[in-house]
Chains A and B, each alone.
Chain A
Amino acid sequence: MNTTRREFLGRSGCLLVLSASAASAWEAILAGRPEAAESYSTAAHWWGMCIDIGKCIGCGNCVRACKQENDVPLDPTFFRTWVERYHVVPDDLERPLVDSPNGGYDGFPERYQRDDGSKNFFVPKICNHCAASPCVQVCPVGATFDSPDGVVLVDKTYCLGCRYCIQACPYGCRFIDPRSRTVDKCTLCYHRITKGQTTACCEACPTGARRLADFKDPKDPVHAFLRDHPVHVLKPQMATHSKVYYNALDGSVR
């Protein structure tokens, strides 16, 4: 084939320009597509959590670990996760005595008697990462959202701090971080789970009462957990499609 020098220069010039623009376009694409940038694919996961009330000892490790891992404010105290203690007096499920001293951060000083006929247990609470979350629905600008892998996250650069989502959450798991003046909440340690680790609270739990669940993973223990235990979600009547499942959740739990 007969190529003149002019044609050759023209063609290679075009190729150079095109590959340069393709490269910058590719970079722009990568910037907006995190799963292409790393080896994590959002489509392969659907995150939730399993909590076993029968195993929780109220040590508060999870609360402390979360605060350290995620830099949650210590004063004034807000919580991405906290533990509640229930004291159900005999035969009165509707009026349990509940306390959560500093969210369970310092453990639970004993205040009840043994063998008085009451039922006592701990309930760890966390953002339920609802599949139909009312908090995402009410955000006026799109600063909080459902990730494609089922984690409800907050965009701190975009949040106005209007607090509508805090009002809309039935579980009380959101708060305003006074330092950034934006909303903050449990992110299911997104920065950890997308790298193959587990959440800080599950990491720190000594009894295995909390366990991260990936519903799309056929080998995940969550499937056996859901099949073999009587499981509950909090406030099912709100139809939020919560993805945090509790084993042995008593009827008195709010």
Chain B
Amino acid sequence: MAGLFGLGIAVFFVLRHLLVPEGFGVYGHYRAGALADNMTVPARYAGASACGDCHADVVAAREGGRHARIGCEACHGPLSAHARGSTDAVPRRPNGRELCLSCHLANVARPKAFPQVTIPDHGDAGPCLACHKAHAPAIS
């Protein structure tokens, strides 16, 4: 019986040596390769700085406006494929009304200082883009 237990324990240690994944315990109680795994996920958002390389005119148009600090992809969606030059990813022009209202529709929980509108009371209730340019929304 004792021999059986001894054999079992020996087999366990051999198996353990074979089966513990590579890199386990290097940084802590985890597989070191997991850090690399988490780093190599493909990014879908290119990041605000990536757009200026080709679209410098838009960057200039936004300069000084109320929307200047908003990232391009906040409105235009994830565009890292487009930034890499892929022809499959076509950036879409967002639907004006829908996009504008997602931030600017009046809501009690929004900070009071934030510009918000209730549609019947604002302008003549036409499309937002009729009076406001998306990249420089101030009406001049």
**Is A68 within 8 A of B22, CB to CB?**
no
Q: Complex formed: what's the CA distance from A114 to B78 in Å?
A: 35
Please, which residues of chain B bring their CB within 8 A of the CB of A57? Answer: 103, 107, 110-111, 114
Chain A 207-234, CB within 8 Å of chain B: the 1/0 string? 1100000000000000000000000000
**Is B114 within 8 A of A68, CB to CB?**
no
**At the interface, yes or no: A198 with Cβ under 8 Å from chain B?**
yes
Main secondary structure of the interface of B (DSSP, over half): loop
State how many angstroms separate the Cβ of A52 from the closest Cβ of chain B.
10
**Is B33 within 8 A of A108, CB to CB?**
no
**At the interface, yes or no: B55 with Cβ under 8 Å from chain A?**
no
**At the interface, yes or no: A48 with Cβ under 8 Å from chain B?**
no
State how many angstroms separate the Cβ of A146 from the closest Cβ of chain B.
7
How many chain B residues touch A (CB < 8 A): the figure is 45
**At the interface, yes or no: A33 with Cβ under 8 Å from chain B?**
yes
Which of A7-15, A58-66, A162-170 lies at the binding interface? A58-66
Chain A 113-137, CB within 8 Å of chain B: the 1/0 string? 1100010111000000000000000
Q: Given A155-B31, A158-B21, A208-B69, do A108 and B109 touch, yes or no (CB 8 Å)?
A: yes
State how many angstroms separate the Cβ of A217 from the closest Cβ of chain B.
17
Please, which residues of chain A bring their CB within 8 A of the CB of B70? Answer: 206
Q: Given A65-B45, A85-B109, do A203 and B39 touch, yes or no (CB 8 Å)?
A: no
**Is B109 within 8 A of A205, CB to CB?**
no
Q: Given A69-B78, A70-B41, A192-B43, do A59 and B36 touch, yes or no (CB 8 Å)?
A: no
Across the interface, name the chain B residue whose C-beta is closest to A65: B45
Please, which residues of chain B bring their CB within 8 A of the CB of A40? Answer: 39
Please, which residues of chain B bring their CB within 8 A of the CB of A61? Answer: 74, 102-103
**Is A110 within 8 A of B106, CB to CB?**
yes
**Is B39 within 8 A of A190, CB to CB?**
yes
**Is A194 within 8 A of B39, CB to CB?**
yes
**At the interface, yes or no: A235 with Cβ under 8 Å from chain B?**
no
Please, which residues of chain A bring their CB within 8 A of the CB of B67? Answer: 206
**At the interface, yes or no: B71 with Cβ under 8 Å from chain A?**
yes
Q: Given A69-B78, A121-B109, A192-B43, do A32 and B73 touch, yes or no (CB 8 Å)?
A: no
Q: Pick 11 A–B contacts, CB within 8 A, sort by A.
A: A31-B22, A31-B36, A34-B35, A40-B39, A59-B102, A65-B45, A107-B102, A112-B109, A118-B108, A146-B28, A197-B45
